[in-house]
Amino acid sequence: MSAERLRATYRLHCASSAAPRRAEALALEQSIEMPVEAVTDERVLREVVARVAELAPQSDGSVLAHVDLSLESIGNDAGQLLNMLFGNSSLLDDVELVDLRIPLALAQRFNGPALGVAGLRRLSGVQGRALTCAALKPIGSTVGDLAKLASTFAGAGIDFIKDDHGWADQSSAPFRERVPACQRAIAQASSGRPTPCLYAPSVSGHLDEMRAQIRFAVEHGVRAVLIAPMIVGVSNFNALRREFPELALLAHPALAGVRIRPSLLLGKLFRLFGADAVIFPNHGGRFSFSRDECQAIASNLRSPSHGLHPALPVAAGGMSVDRVPEQVAEYGLDVMLLIGGSLLMARERLAERSREFVAAAASTVAV
Amino acid sequence: MSAERLRATYRLHCASSAAPRRAEALALEQSIEMPVEAVTDERVLREVVARVAELAPQSDGSVLAHVDLSLESIGNDAGQLLNMLFGNSSLLDDVELVDLRIPLALAQRFNGPALGVAGLRRLSGVQGRALTCAALKPIGSTVGDLAKLASTFAGAGIDFIKDDHGWADQSSAPFRERVPACQRAIAQASSGRPTPCLYAPSVSGHLDEMRAQIRFAVEHGVRAVLIAPMIVGVSNFNALRREFPELALLAHPALAGVRIRPSLLLGKLFRLFGADAVIFPNHGGRFSFSRDECQAIASNLRSPSHGLHPALPVAAGGMSVDRVPEQVAEYGLDVMLLIGGSLLMARERLAERSREFVAAAASTVAV
Q: Say yes or no for a CB contact (<8 Å) between B231 and A91.
A: no
Which amino acid does the sequence have at A198? L
Nearest to B198 by CA among B230, B220, B166, B174: B220
Q: Which of B233, A80, B292 is nearest to B251 (CA)?
A: B233
Using CA atoms, how far apart are residues B322 and B328, in angstroms rounded to an integer? 11
Q: Work out the minimum CA distance from B122 to partner chain A, whole angstroms.
A: 30
Q: What residue spans of chain A are helical by DSSP H?
A: 19-29, 42-43, 78-86, 104-110, 116-124, 143-156, 175-189, 207-219, 229-232, 234-243, 262, 270-272, 291-302, 324-331, 341-344, 350-363
- Return d(Cα A11, Cα A83) in angstroms, integer: 17
Helix (H, G, I), strand (E, B) or coil at A108: helix
Of the CA atoms within 13 Å of residue A230, those in its CB half-sphere come to 30
Contact B255 A82 (CB under 8 A): yes
Picking from A275, A162, A133, A202, the residue whose alpha carbon sits closest to that of residue A266 is A275
Q: Are A208 and A243 in contact (CB under 8 A)?
A: no
Q: Which of A38, A138, A204 sits opposite B345 (nearest CB)?
A: A38
Nearest to B233 among A172, A233, A258 (CB): A233
A233 shares contact with chain B (CB less than 8 Å)? yes
Per-residue pLDDT of chain B (367 residues; tens, 9 = 90+): 457 899 999 999 999 999 999 999 999 999 999 999 999 999 999 999 999 999 999 999 999 999 999 999 998 899 999 999 999 999 999 999 999 999 999 999 999 999 999 999 999 999 999 999 999 999 999 999 999 999 999 999 999 999 999 999 999 999 999 999 999 999 999 999 999 999 999 999 999 999 999 999 999 999 999 999 999 999 999 999 999 999 999 999 999 998 999 999 999 999 999 999 999 999 999 998 999 999 999 999 999 999 999 999 999 999 999 999 999 999 999 999 999 999 999 999 999 999 999 999 999 986 5
Nearest to A38 among B73, B209, B341 (CB): B341
A31 touches chain B (CB under 8 A): yes
Query: Which amino acid is residue A297, in one-letter code?
Result: I
Q: Are B223 and B123 in contact (CB under 8 A)?
A: yes
A338: left (phi over 0), alpha (psi -120 to 50) or beta: beta
Picking from A268, A267, A295, the residue whose alpha carbon sits closest to that of residue A282 is A295
List, for residues A107-119, the tens digit of each pLDDT value: 999 999 999 999 9
pLDDT band (50, 70, 90) for residue A75 = confident
Q: DSSP assignment of B10-67, as one string?
A: EEE-S-GGGHHHHHHHHHHHTTT-S-GGG---HHIIIIIS-EEEEEEE-TTS-EEEEE
CB B301 within 8 Å of CB B321: no
Rounded Cα–Cα distance for residues A177 and A163 (Å): 13
CB contacts < 8 A (A, B): 302
Q: What are residue A199's DSSP bridge partners?
A: A161
Q: Residue B17 phi/psi, 5° resolution? A: -65, -30
Q: How far is B317 from chain A (nearest CA, A)?
A: 9
Is the Cβ–Cβ distance between A92 and A30 less than 8 Å? no
Closest CA to A300 of A119, A109, A98, A123: A98
Nearest CB to B231; choose among A37, A87, A140:
A87
List pLDDT tens digits, range B265-310: 999 999 999 999 999 999 999 998 999 999 999 999 999 999 999 9
Among positive and negative, which fits the CA dihedral A350, A354, A359, A365? positive
Residues of B (35-54) whose Cβ lies below 8 Å from A: 35, 37-41, 43-44, 47-49
What mean pLDDT is reported for chain A?
Answer: 96
Give residue A365's pLDDT.
81
Q: Are A140 and B73 in contact (CB under 8 A)?
A: yes
User: If you write DSSP's letter for every residue of B62-111 in order, what string do you get?
Assistant: -EEEEEEEEGGGGTT-HHHHHHHHHTTGGG-TTEEEEEEE--HHHHHHH-
| A143 contacts chain B (CB < 8 A) | no
User: What counts of helices (H) and strands (E) characterise chain A?
Assistant: 16, 12
Angle between helices B175-189 and B143-156 (to 10 degrees): 30
A316 phi and psi angles, rounded to 5 deg: -150, -170
| A105 contact partners, CB below 8 Å, separation of at least 6 | A4, A71
A253 inside 8 A of chain B by CB: yes
**pLDDT tens-place string over residues B243-264:** 999 999 999 999 999 899 999 9
pTM summary value: 0.97
Chain A (306-365) residues lying within 8 Å, Cβ to Cβ, of chain B: 340-341, 344-345, 347
Instruction: Kindly state whether A18 is in contact with chain B, defined as any CB-CB distance less than 8 angstroms.
Output: no
Contact at 8 Å (CB) between B289 and B95? no
**Alpha carbon of B43: minimum distance to chain A alpha carbons (Å):** 8
- Give whole-number Cα distances, B255 to A215, A237, B361, in Å: 30, 17, 30
What confidence score (pLDDT) does residue B366 get? 66
- Closest C-alpha among B276, B205, B280 to residue B236: B205
Choose among A328, A310, A321: nearest CA to A346: A321
> Is the minimum CB–CB distance between B64 and chain A shorter than 8 Å?
no
Closest chain A CA to residue B40:
A347
Question: Is B60 exposed, middle or buried, given 0-12, 13-18 or 19+ CB atoms closer than 10 A?
Answer: exposed
Confidence of residue A366 (pLDDT cuts 50, 70, 90): low
Please give the pLDDT value at position B176.
98
Whose CA is closest to B232, among B263, B253, B260? B253
Give the pLDDT confidence of A338-353 residue by residue, as tens digits. 999 999 999 999 999 9
Distance of residue B296 Cα from the nearest chain A Cα, in angstroms: 16
Q: What pLDDT sits at residue A1?
A: 42
According to DSSP, residue A263 is labeled I
Q: What is the mean pLDDT of residues A292-310?
A: 98
**Among candidates A166, A231, A287 on the partner chain, residue whose Cβ is nearest the Cβ of B73:** A166
Tens digits of residue pLDDT in A225-271: 999 999 999 999 999 999 999 999 999 999 999 899 999 999 999 99
Cβ-based contacts of A83 with chain B (< 8 Å): 165-166, 168, 204, 228, 231, 254-255
